[in-house]
Amino acid sequence: YKLKTYTSNPGTCSTNYADYTLTSPQTISSHLWLCGAAKDLVGNTGFSSPVEFTVDKEKPASEITSPLAGSTQTSDFLVSVTDTDTGGSGLDVCYYRTYDSSQGYTRSWTIRTCNSSQLITVGSTADCRTIGGTCTVYVYSYDNAGNQSDINLRSFEIKIITCNVSVPKTGLVNQWIEINISGSQGAIVEVRFASDLIGEPTDSWTNWYDWNISSDDWDASSKIMKWSFAETGNYEVWAEISDGTETASCYDIITIFECYPGQEDTCISGQGCSHIITCKPDGTWPACPEDEC
């Protein structure tokens, strides 16, 4: 049994047994077409059809294309990866893993879908765990010839905006209180306010105020908003901040009285008499005495 190779497709194999000079087996290390010929003991010959062999020695390539390296991520995000194979055998399988700057590798090599976006999670037990830290995503691939790509990586800053608000414990009807607002992580760009009694923000928010520009009752330099209430009661004072992509909201509780217990004021009775009255322990004013002056 003898073999013959061609560097291009011969269409049909030679029927001249003398053309077959290679013995079997042969190592194929490049793109070739292979023909075989056999001869029996009485000189009868037979010839095969050409068989194409493709040898792929080229490594595939895997590259993270988005988000931008060093960009800030505040929640679960998609990492887009481009995988290519120029050797001809085609992509076989693709992998990724993640590394947290404080906790090390948070995911071992895991199969991902080639040429697609992979979800990277953010949270205390997720892929990216350290708020204010760095999270690195690694990718690589194999082709069908067993060639492995180089490892490609990209790092991201992990930040979650947080909201803090404080108000006085008590206040008076129709008198200004100051809402102190602060936030951390991310570049805060705007803030808005609301008040309610139901334990969650409502849709009755103010318009957004620029975080760095004062307007109306918003003082951007001190991060204080002036606010007042028309009725007595317990209120939640809400603030919401935004970095342009993500938002965070928070609230503090205030009790609004008509007056502070023990506070004195002057009232005029129906008869035109002037009286000094003292605020009651429940934070309300007593009725103005009705008597003759």
Domain spans, the chain: 2-53, 61-158, 162-257, 259-293
C-alpha distance across the termini of the chain, in Å: 136
Q: Are the folds of 61-158 and 162-257 the same?
A: yes
Percent of the chain that is helix, strand, coil (3-state, to 5): 0, 50, 50
160 phi, psi to nearest 5 deg: -125, 125
- What sign does the CA torsion over 16, 22, 27, 30 have? negative
- Which tokens in the block code for residue 185? 């992580």
Which pLDDT score, from 0 to 100, does residue 188 have? Answer: 86
CA angle 65, 68, 72 (to 5 degrees): 140
**Rounded to whole angstroms, how far apart are CA atoms 48 and 13?**
7
Predicted structure pTM score: 0.55
Which pLDDT score, from 0 to 100, does residue 161 have? Answer: 80
Which pLDDT score, from 0 to 100, does residue 186 have? Answer: 62
Which pLDDT score, from 0 to 100, does residue 54 have? Answer: 83
**Rounded to whole angstroms, how far apart are CA atoms 41 and 36?**
17
Which pLDDT score, from 0 to 100, does residue 241 have? Answer: 92
18 phi, psi to nearest 5 deg: -65, -20
Domain 162-257 has CATH 3.30.420.40: no
Name the H helices within the chain. Answer: none
Which pLDDT score, from 0 to 100, does residue 203 have? Answer: 60
Give, for all 293 residues of the chain, the pLDDT tens digit: 899 999 999 999 999 999 999 998 988 888 899 999 999 999 999 999 999 988 888 999 999 999 999 998 888 999 999 999 998 889 999 999 999 999 999 999 999 999 999 999 998 899 999 988 999 999 999 999 899 999 999 999 998 788 899 999 999 999 999 999 988 766 788 999 998 876 666 668 999 999 999 999 999 999 999 999 988 989 999 999 988 877 888 999 999 999 999 999 999 988 888 999 999 999 999 999 887 66
The CATH superfamily of 61-158 is Immunoglobulins (2.60.40.10)
Which pLDDT score, from 0 to 100, does residue 185 have? Answer: 64
* Sequence-distant (≥ 6) Cβ neighbours of residue 293 within 8 angstroms: 269, 271, 272, 273
Q: Which amino acid is at 187?
A: A
- The side-by-side arrangement of strands in the sheet containing 104-112 is 72-73, 152-158, 134-143, 91-100, 104-112
**Rounded to whole angstroms, how far apart are CA atoms 13 and 63?**
43
Which pLDDT score, from 0 to 100, does residue 17 have? Answer: 96
- Which tokens in the block code for residue 284? 């309300």
